[in-house]
Amino acid sequence: MRNNFGRVVEIMVSGMKFNMDNYNLEGTVPFDNDTLPNESEIKIWNLSSQTISKIKRGGTLMVNAGYKGDVGLVLHGFISAVQTLRDGVDRVTTINVLDSEDLSKRVLKDVAYTKGTLASSIIKQMAQQIGLPIAQFDLYQDYRYMDGYTASGEVTEIIAKVAQDCRTSVYINKGKLYVRNLRSGADDLFRLSESTGLIGVPEWQESDGAQGYGLTSQLQYRITTASVIDLKSRSFSGRLYVRSGSHKFSRTGDFITEMEAVL
């Protein structure tokens, strides 16, 4: 079983790199299956005033995390806030990061599509409107609007509504748009057990009409929305699909991936 020694975290921002060997770092990086940007919280201890001044709202921040010899990207987003406060003799800089630009102000008013327009065409045009690259596009059903369609409101909500007509999930992850269902796609398969990083006992969950388990593992950067889990545990063994979760890292505390995985 992978142990918690050899932890690696690298934070890249404003042309600078901070790693866990030289800085006390903490963070929580959430992921889920909707179009609302997720907001991560990153903390760095005892930066100089000159360094802090270079970290600005709107800048890009990336986080790699894992273990020595196996490290990967867990966050690529845009800084939404920066705050530095005293904590005793320490100075803690907290950086909030959205995993895509704040898209709530991208609004359209009454954009009309002709009769017979396909949902795929609308979704792709809406993605262009907000500048999101499409990482995966696999509609369960490409719905045809026989009476036409009028797009109005927040662009991300328009995309979500059209995808719902196609009985397909849509979400934003690491600054890219995914249009696909959780149980389809070319996702990596993770075999999760006590010997490969499972922590504690899976907890049975029922929410939003779905059933599954709440799982905790040692930090695994590869696990994110729609990851496929082959779980082997005393309470359940079988295949699950990750719907949401978070990566949590620190130098001496949590270094885990928590996830909600559905049947």
Q: How confident is the model at residue 187 (pLDDT cuts 50, 70, 90)?
A: low
Distances (CA, A) of 51 to 17, 47, 87, 93: 11, 6, 18, 11
Count, residues in the chain: 263
Residue 246 β-bridge partners: 30, 258
Cβ within 8 Å of residue 249, ≥6 positions away: 7, 9, 25, 26, 27, 65, 219, 255
Distances (CA, A) of 87 to 42, 93, 94, 109: 16, 10, 12, 47
pTM, 2 dp? 0.91
CATH of 107-179, one of 3.55.50.10, 3.40.50.620, 1.20.810.10, 3.30.110.30: 3.55.50.10
Q: Token pair for residue 83?
A: 């705050």
Euclidean distance between CA atoms 125 and 128, whole angstroms: 5
Q: How confident is the model at residue 169 (pLDDT cuts 50, 70, 90)?
A: very high
Q: What integer pLDDT is reported at residue 192 of this predicted model?
A: 96
Q: Is 175 left (phi over 0), alpha (psi -120 to 50) or beta?
A: left
Domain definitions of the chain by residue range = 107-179
Q: What integer pLDDT is reported at residue 223 of this predicted model?
A: 95
Region 156-178 average pLDDT: 93
pLDDT greater than 50 at residue 17: yes
Q: What integer pLDDT is reported at residue 1 of this predicted model?
A: 39
Distances (CA, A) of 22 to 7, 9, 105, 148: 12, 10, 39, 58
Place of tokens 């059933």: 211
Q: Is residue 186 packed enough to be buried (19+ CB in 10 Å), middle (13-18) or exposed (0-12)? A: exposed
* Buried b or exposed e, range 223-252, using 16+ CB within 10 angstroms: bbbbbbbebebeeeeeebbbbbbbbbbbee
